Structures are given as structure tokens and as C-alpha cells.
């Protein structure tokens, strides 16, 4: 199957040798999104609430570029630098997804790029092949 790169200016540009997302068949593999404002290229808040909303909005933008939305997400992985933020992140996460919720993993990591507190990656189904 052919790999198709998905890219949008509505989400942060890759800060390394990777794509925002790759579509293969009817599956979309999205790179992790940290809370960078795509308009400025910066993380504009140290608050976990604001960072979580920004990261999820970035995920949404990448999905939209592929013709998908949050309801198409089947698996997420959430990386946190502090698991004490889990309850806050979980509450916000629930605002972006509907039942049946995607499968999810959540892990604490030592650090994330640009000192982000959160990174979220998703795998989604594509309704139509690209």
C-alpha cells in the first residue's frame, strides 16, 4: 500500500525528520502533538489545562487535514511529564471524544520536546482512501 503524507499549516510543523501524519490504506498514523501554537511556533503556557487543549486542537487539525475527525480516532497515547496531572488531562480529554472512546495508553515520561508537559499521538480510521 502507498504511504501518503498528511500536512497542514493549522498544526505545528514537524521539528525533526518526521511527518505530521501518514495515511496507509484506511488508517491514519499521527505523530505526537505537543502544545505548540502553530501561528507562533511557541508553547505559550505552562498551565496543563491550556497545554492539553492546545495539544488536542493540534491533533484535531491534523485529523481534519486527512478528512477525519475526533470520532475517527481508535487509539491514543498520552505522554505526561507528571502523572499528577492525569485527572485534569482526563477531564479535558473527555470533552474531545465521544463514546465509544478510543483505546488509550497514558505514561509518564522524563521530558518532552520544548519542555512541554503533554504530548498526544493518535491512530485513526479514514472513511475514504486518500
Q: Which residues are catalytic?
A: 106
Among 26, 85, 25, residue whose Cα is nearest residue 55: 85
Helices (H), the chain: 48-65, 86-96
d(CA 51, CA 124): 22
**Cα dist from 51 to 4, 27, 121, whole Å:** 29, 27, 14
> Cell numbers at residue 17, please?
525528520
d(CA 122, CA 80): 15
Amino acid at each position: 500500500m502507498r504511504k501518503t503524507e498528511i500536512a497542514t499549516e493549522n498544526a505545528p510543523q514537524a521539528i525533526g525528520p518526521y511527518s505530521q501524519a501518514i495515511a496507509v490504506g484506511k488508517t491514519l498514523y499521527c505523530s505526537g502533538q505537543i502544545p505548540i501554537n502553530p501561528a507562533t511556533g511557541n508553547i505559550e503556557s505552562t498551565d496543563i489545562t491550556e497545554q492539553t487543549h492546545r495539544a488536542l486542537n493540534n491533533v484535531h487539525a491534523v485529523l481534519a487535514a486527512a478528512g477525519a475527525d475526533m470520532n475517527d480516532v481508535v487509539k491514543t497515547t498520552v505522554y505526561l511529564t507528571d502523572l499528577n496531572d492525569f485527572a485534569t488531562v482526563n477531564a479535558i480529554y473527555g470533552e474531545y471524544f465521544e463514546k465509544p472512546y478510543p483505546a488509550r495508553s497514558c505514561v509518564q515520561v522524563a521530558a518532552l520536546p520544548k519542555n512541554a508537559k503533554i504530548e498526544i499521538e493518535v491512530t485513526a480510521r479514514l472513511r475514504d482512501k486518500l
